[in-house]
Amino acid sequence: MNAPPLTDPFTIAGLEVPNRVVLAPLAGIGNWFVRLQAKRYGAGLTVSEMISSFAIHHRNEKTMRDLLMIHDSEREYPGPIAFQLFGQDPEVMRSAAATAAEQGADIIDLNMGCPVPKVMKNGAGAALISDPAVAVEIARAAAEGSGLPVTVKLRSGQKKGEADGFQLALRLVDEAGVAAIAFHPRSAQVHHKGSPDYELAAKLVDQLPVPVILSGGMSDHDATLAAREQTGAAAVMLARGGLGNPWLFEHLLGLRDEAPTQTEILAELEWIIDRAVEHLGDERAARYLRTFYPWYLDQLELDKATLVAFQQSESIGKVREMLAELGPLTAAAGH
C-alpha cells in the first residue's frame, strides 16, 4: 500500500490532525495527563478514556471533575482532543455530546466496541454493532448535540469471523455523516486477544470515503509499520504498546531511534506521579497509580520484591523515597 508517511497531516471533517499517530481511548487510564504525555511525545490526536453519556447527562460530579476536563497544558501542543462517550440512548447522547463540546472537546468519539459485559448488557459499546439503526441514531444525535465532527470506534464484529462491525462502519458514514472510523479488527468475543484481521481493515480503508484509524496489535514500532503497510490506514492508534512507552510515538514519527535509558524511564514515571498528585491529591493518586508502575518498572532490571513494594505502597511519599533510591542505581548501570 502506498500510504502517506505517518508524519504527514490529515483531516477529520476539515479539522487538521498534524500527524497520523493517535493515542487510543483507554478506560481508567486516558485522562488529561496521559493524553498530555502522548502529546509531549508527538501524538497528533488524543482520545479520552470512555465516559458515560448518562453520567455526563446527570452531571455526575466525579465524571465532570475528573474525566470531562481538558488541561490547559494539553493545548500547548498541536492537534485535536476527542472525548469518547458511550451509551445506548440517542437523547442522552445528544445532551452529553453538547456538554462535552462546552467543555472544549474538538471531536466526539463514540464507543461502539467495548466488549465488557457491564457495558454491553445495557445495549452500549459493542452491543450497538447488533443494533445498527440505534447506532446510526446515536451518531446523528451526537453530531447535532455537539456541532462537532463525530468519529466512531468499533470492532470487526460481535463474533469471530463475523463482519457486522464492518457493515456498521459503512452505514455510520453513509447515514449519519460520521467523519472517521477507528477500526479495531478483532471481534468483541475475543476482547483483546489474538491477531487483528488487517485484511478486513484494508477492505474498509478501500471502501470508506473518510479516514480509517487502525487500532489493534500495534505493540511496537515494526508491528505498527507492518500493520499500516498492510492496511493503508490513514492513521495508527496506539493502545497497550504505548503504556509506559511514550517513546513509541517519537519512534514512529522518526524523532528518535534509541530505546529510552533507565534514567529517562524513571524521570517519566516521576512526571506521571507528579501529574497524578496534581489531579487526584496524594491519597487517591497512591491508589490510582498502582496499575501504572509495572508499565515503567518492568523495563528496568529490578527484583520482584521492589516491584511488589511499589504496587503495595499506600503513600506517594514512600513511592518517591523508593524512586530516589533507584535513581543512582540505574545511573550507575550506565544506561
Ligand X SMILES: Cc1cc2nc3c(=O)[nH]c(=O)nc-3n(C[C@H](O)[C@H](O)[C@H](O)COP(=O)(O)O)c2cc1C
Q: Which stretch binds ligand X (CB under 6 A): 11-19, 110-118, 197-205, 317-325?
A: 110-118
* Angstrom distance (rounded) from CA 27 to CA 18: 25
Burial class (CB in 10 A: 0-12, 13-18, 19+), 249: buried
Output 194 or 281, the one with its CB closest to ligand X. 194
Phi, then psi, of 4 in degrees rounded to 5: -60, 155
Output 156 or 313, the one with its CB closest to ligand X. 156
- Which CA distances in Å does 73 have to 15, 77, 226, 242? 20, 8, 33, 20
By CB under 6 A, is residue 18 in contact with ligand X? Answer: no
Q: Of the candidates 239, 276, 280, 286, which one interacts with ligand X according to CB under 6 A?
A: 239
Closest contact distance (angstroms) between CB of 49 and ligand X is 5
By CB under 6 A, is residue 115 in contact with ligand X? Answer: no
The partner residues of 269 in beta bridges, in order of sequence, read none
For 181, the enclosing helix (H) or strand (E) is strand 180-187
Output 25 or 145, the one with its CB closest to ligand X. 25
Q: Which stretch binds ligand X (CB under 6 A): 23-31, 64-72, 251-259, 319-327?
A: 23-31
Closest contact distance (angstroms) between CB of 38 and ligand X is 13
How far from the centroid of its chain's Cα atoms is residue 288's Cα? Answer: 18
Residues 162/187, Cβ–Cβ less than 8 Å: yes
Q: Which of residues 157-176 bind ligand X (CB under 6 A)?
A: none
By CB under 6 A, is residue 141 in contact with ligand X? Answer: no
Q: Hey, what amino acid is at 271?
A: W
Closest contact distance (angstroms) between CB of 327 and ligand X is 29
- Which CA distances in Å does 239 have to 149, 207, 246, 258, 285? 22, 25, 11, 21, 22
* Angstrom distance (rounded) from CA 97 to CA 144: 9
Q: Of the candidates 35, 39, 140, 184, which one interacts with ligand X according to CB under 6 A?
A: 184
Output 77 or 83, the one with its CB closest to ligand X. 83
Active site residue 158: no
By CB under 6 A, is residue 132 in contact with ligand X? Answer: no
Q: Of the candidates 18, 25, 157, 211, which one interacts with ligand X according to CB under 6 A?
A: 25
Helices (H) and strands (E) in the chain, counts: 14, 10
* Angstrom distance (rounded) from CA 8 to CA 67: 30
Q: Of the candidates 39, 57, 94, 153, which one interacts with ligand X according to CB under 6 A?
A: 153
By CB under 6 A, is residue 252 in contact with ligand X? Answer: no
Output 236 or 269, the one with its CB closest to ligand X. 236
Residues 224/252, Cβ–Cβ less than 8 Å: yes
Q: Which of residues 216-235 bind ligand X (CB under 6 A)?
A: 216-218
Q: Hey, what amino acid is at 216?
A: G
Q: Of the candidates 19, 46, 88, 215, which one interacts with ligand X according to CB under 6 A?
A: 215
Q: Which three cell numbers stand for residue 133?
A: 439503526
Phi, then psi, of 292 in degrees rounded to 5: -75, -35
Residues 182/152, Cβ–Cβ less than 8 Å: yes
Output 97 or 266, the one with its CB closest to ligand X. 97
Q: Which of residues 280-319 bind ligand X (CB under 6 A)?
A: none
By CB under 6 A, is residue 24 in contact with ligand X? Answer: yes
Closest contact distance (angstroms) between CB of 335 and ligand X is 26
Q: Which of residues 74-93 bind ligand X (CB under 6 A)?
A: 84
Catalytic residue among 114, 286, 289, 319: 114
* Angstrom distance (rounded) from CA 225 to CA 236: 9
Pairing of the two strands 212-215 and 10-12: unpaired
* Active-site amino acid positions: 114
Which residues of the shown chain bind ligand X in the complex (CB under 6 A)?
A: 24-27, 29, 49-50, 84, 111, 113-114, 153, 184, 192, 215-218, 239-241
